[in-house]
Amino acid sequence: MERDDLKRRLRKLKKLEIKIRFGGVMPGDSRIRLVWDDFFSTSDCRKGCNAAGAKYILDDLEGLDKTRLKDIIDEYFYRVYYQVYRENGIMPANVYDPDLLGILGLKPDADYEQIKRRFRELAKKYHPDLGGDSERMIELLDAYHKLVDR
């Protein structure tokens, strides 16, 4: 995909998030952050990058195939709707925190059984009694309990 076309499409995603979350008008409150701001950067890194912690920068997205790009956009919309649910106090039972799922190395659409299975795999790897990293195990336990004990 051409760089300018990709940049245009990413900016459309930003406008769509504003429409989904705020009805089309961005609130004047400077404390409100868009999911888009943490997810994408359209800065031209060839001229010196100011990605400010964005997960994906334009240079990285430019070389991806359509399937991988679609997966990234799906993940973005999952996070947008997760934020909408949080802001409105309506958290469906089958929607999990994408950051916690990321700690377990799972995609945002993981279900309860996938969470349980992945936790067990990682527990075998990181449990201190089996020679693993105790700090990583604590992080995994914390994420797992926050996901399943809600």
Q: Strand 56-57 relative to strand 40-41: parallel, antiparallel, unpaired?
A: parallel
In a domain, 31, yes or no: yes
Is residue 31 over pLDDT 60?
A: yes
The reply to whether 83 and 10 lie within a common domain is: yes
pLDDT (0 to 100) of residue 49: 59
CATH number at residue 135: 1.10.287.110
Residue 63 CB-half CA count within 13 A: 3
Per-residue tokens: 113:
């059984």
Mean pLDDT over 68-87 rounds to 93
pLDDT (0 to 100) of residue 60: 86
Whether this prediction's pTM lies above 0.75 is answered by yes
Is residue 74 over pLDDT 70?
A: yes
Is residue 41 over pLDDT 90?
A: no
For the chain, strand residue ranges (E) read 40-41, 56-57
Report the SS3 class of residue 66: helix
The reply to whether 78 and 48 lie within a common domain is: yes
In a domain, 120, yes or no: yes
The rounded radius of gyration (Å) of the Cα atoms in the chain is: 18
pLDDT band at 2; cut points 50, 70, 90: confident
Q: How far apart are CA 25 and CA 21, in angstroms?
A: 9
Is 109:95 a contact under the CB 8 Å cutoff?
A: no
Cα–Cα–Cα angle for 7, 66, 60, rounded to 5 degrees: 50
Mean pLDDT over 45-65 rounds to 76
The reply to whether 9 and 30 lie within a common domain is: yes
pLDDT (0 to 100) of residue 109: 87
Per-residue tokens: 143:
């994420």
pLDDT (0 to 100) of residue 122: 95
Is residue 99 over pLDDT 60?
A: yes
Mean pLDDT over 30-55 rounds to 78
In a domain, 93, yes or no: no
The reply to whether 84 and 105 lie within a common domain is: no
Mean pLDDT over 42-63 rounds to 75
Is residue 133 over pLDDT 60?
A: yes
In a domain, 47, yes or no: yes
| C-alpha pair distances (Å), 43 with each of 3, 4, 66 | 11, 12, 21
Using a pLDDT cut of 70, give the percent of the chain over it: 93
Is 148:115 a contact under the CB 8 Å cutoff?
A: yes
In a domain, 41, yes or no: yes
In a domain, 55, yes or no: yes
In terms of residue numbers, what domain contains 8? 3-88
